[in-house]
Chains A and B, each alone.
Chain A
């Protein structure tokens, strides 16, 4: 597919799509994420079992053995329903935490990069300071102080996820603002807000999108950690992390309780990482013509 004749030059967007489609792992990631998301948000409506329905006669049913396709847990709850409902929670936390982290990171990074000087230095040193804490300990320390729940865990994860975006954006904006097109906007009388939002940030969109995808993966993983350690999403609401927590004691007798949410986490996280890699390559015009 090198039919990019100069006469009918495809638009930049089409070329990005073309490069992305050639990236097999990224396509796999995109398809998996789409499937997972659809399954998690639509699947539970189609299943005969609710995720909190207790089928006491069918405790520890093995997968592929009866009415419960993926088996049941120690209380006789349907594993498939719980995986899908847990997926809702995990994906939701992942996406929302990413969105909040992005917004904060872009804001801080853009302001620091554009104004520089004292403001920029202060902001970026603060970012460095926050970055010094290992995210997981910061998260656990904070989680011990606030009441665990969907909202609080999302905010906590977002609070540990905005710094790297801020650094990426700061670097991008700092170099972009010296470029002549930023000066051109200034000669035209544009306000700072216009220059940052309309001229500069769109040029930094590629690294931002890549960081965003990788951040979703990270947020899902963090949510699993914290829930696994018991500080995150509280039972009976399922999440992939707290399902793993439950599964620990039955690891030898009912291994599927650990394996199934494990697979779900692995699949989601690797898919997002592949997607991020693929986007990184696709958004880089130098990858054209390979």
Chain B
């Protein structure tokens, strides 16, 4: 591991001040992100997972320097970008891009697809005339599986999946190294989600992208990411390689998230861990471990001090002080990292991609679910 990480985040904090009243001296702060550190190596997909309000989107946007962090540092490819001005950031914008959650809101409704996708070329004054620009747009559209005639359409004339493809084409036309995908499939139909996820995976391999994938859905994340970072109330609670995290979660929150993810096999008996209540307020977080208010393993010691994120196994970080508990892992292979048994094919006529997960030979086939229910975990 001598290679320089493409992104290194150290102790990142982003607090938003609440509207202060004239009389109160102390402004309250929303601690959306409260001390996060991680680094990404080139070509990796790191997923940032957490429920609404955990601050994952804020991390994504702060890393791109759309907002200035309250404290901490962000190093992009060896360059400290924490305090760069917008003007200084401009050349870096070519190398780091964002794909949005809502593909409709992120496309200007007054512009045609061609105009939208060529916006980066215009902003960065790409050399070449209109013809060169048009050729690049066409290439970018082709890259994301859109047809040349889509260029003349307006966003409202496209389907959700097509819109997200336009968003991806815009993000990739300048060939960035680093992409933040902010819940890129959450707003899409389930049937379209797989297409867009697979598209991102293919483009990652093709263009050598590094992707920070923000999501709340472990099922999607397990399919694409190399590593997963679980966030709770502005802090990281667990970071591990996808397979390790799914096989052996070390934080109770991760365990609860895993148990909540759907498994497409009705015969599997399992215990769901239902978390009581809501995520606490980031204005006034509970003392000690933020998760202690909802954790079924919480003890007095948990409420005493904020547990640090520490290495519990090589490359596996967790912020739980209780090493004595045995956490459950999902017992079935539905929540898996991408396995070799996944075949992808592309329908020539439509340009759409289809992913079919084939059952492993060692487990019984899907036509005999009774035996697969009792099959031992054979995920890896």
A interface with B by C-beta (< 8 Å):
9, 11-12, 179-181, 183-190, 194, 199, 202-203, 205
**Chain A residues within 8 Å of B96, by CB:** 187
A186–B214 alpha-carbon span in the complex (Å): 19
A199 lies within 8 A of B106 (CB): no
**Chain B residues within 8 Å of A185, by CB:** 119, 123
B106 lies within 8 A of A181 (CB): yes
In the complex, which residue of chain B has the Cβ closest to the Cβ of A176?
Answer: B108
- Closest Cβ–Cβ distance, residue B237 to chain A (whole Å): 28
- Closest Cβ–Cβ distance, residue B41 to chain A (whole Å): 23
20 further A-B contacts with Cβ under 8 Å, apart from A181-B107, A184-B106, A202-B108, are A11-B154, A12-B154, A180-B101, A180-B102, A180-B105, A180-B106, A181-B106, A181-B108, A183-B98, A184-B98, A184-B167, A184-B170, A186-B66, A188-B93, A188-B97, A188-B120, A189-B94, A189-B124, A202-B110, A203-B108
| Category for how many chain B residues contact A | 20 to 34
B108 lies within 8 A of A189 (CB): no
With beta carbons under 8 angstroms apart, the residue of B102, B119, B154 that contacts A188 is B119
B109 lies within 8 A of A203 (CB): yes
A203 lies within 8 A of B110 (CB): yes
A202–B154 alpha-carbon span in the complex (Å): 14
Whether, in the assembled complex, B265 has its beta carbon less than 8 Å from a beta carbon of chain A, the answer is no
A9–B101 alpha-carbon span in the complex (Å): 27
In the complex, which residue of chain A has the Cβ closest to the Cβ of B97?
Answer: A187
Contacts A9-B157, A12-B154 given; does A190 touch B108 at CB 8 Å: no
Contacts A180-B100, A183-B66 given; does A189 touch B157 at CB 8 Å: no
A239–B87 alpha-carbon span in the complex (Å): 53
Lowest 5 A-B CB distances belong to which pairs?
A189-B93, A180-B106, A180-B105, A189-B90, A181-B108
A181–B156 alpha-carbon span in the complex (Å): 14
**Chain B residues within 8 Å of A187, by CB:** 64, 66, 93, 96-98
B interface with A by C-beta (< 8 Å):
64, 66, 89-91, 93-94, 96-98, 100-102, 105-110, 119-120, 123-124, 154, 157, 167, 170
Main secondary structure, interface of A, reads helix
**Chain B residues within 8 Å of A184, by CB:** 98, 100, 106-107, 167, 170
**Chain B residues within 8 Å of A12, by CB:** 154
- Closest Cβ–Cβ distance, residue B103 to chain A (whole Å): 9
- Closest Cβ–Cβ distance, residue A175 to chain B (whole Å): 12
**Chain A residues within 8 Å of B109, by CB:** 181, 203
Q: Could you list 29 A-B pairs, sorted by A, with CB under 8 Å?
A: A9-B157, A180-B100, A180-B102, A181-B105, A181-B106, A181-B107, A181-B108, A181-B109, A183-B66, A183-B98, A184-B98, A184-B106, A184-B107, A184-B170, A185-B119, A186-B66, A187-B93, A187-B96, A187-B97, A188-B97, A188-B119, A189-B93, A189-B94, A199-B108, A202-B108, A202-B110, A203-B108, A203-B110, A205-B110
A116–B269 alpha-carbon span in the complex (Å): 55
In the complex, which residue of chain A has the Cβ closest to the Cβ of B91?
Answer: A189
**Chain B residues within 8 Å of A202, by CB:** 108, 110
- Closest Cβ–Cβ distance, residue A180 to chain B (whole Å): 4
**Chain B residues within 8 Å of A190, by CB:** 119, 123
**Chain A residues within 8 Å of B64, by CB:** 187
- Closest Cβ–Cβ distance, residue A172 to chain B (whole Å): 13
A142–B98 alpha-carbon span in the complex (Å): 53
A9–B123 alpha-carbon span in the complex (Å): 30
- Closest Cβ–Cβ distance, residue A11 to chain B (whole Å): 8
**Chain B residues within 8 Å of A186, by CB:** 66
**Chain A residues within 8 Å of B91, by CB:** 189
B93 lies within 8 A of A183 (CB): no
**Chain A residues within 8 Å of B98, by CB:** 183-184, 187
**Chain A residues within 8 Å of B93, by CB:** 187-189
- Closest Cβ–Cβ distance, residue A242 to chain B (whole Å): 43
- Closest Cβ–Cβ distance, residue A158 to chain B (whole Å): 27
- Closest Cβ–Cβ distance, residue A106 to chain B (whole Å): 16
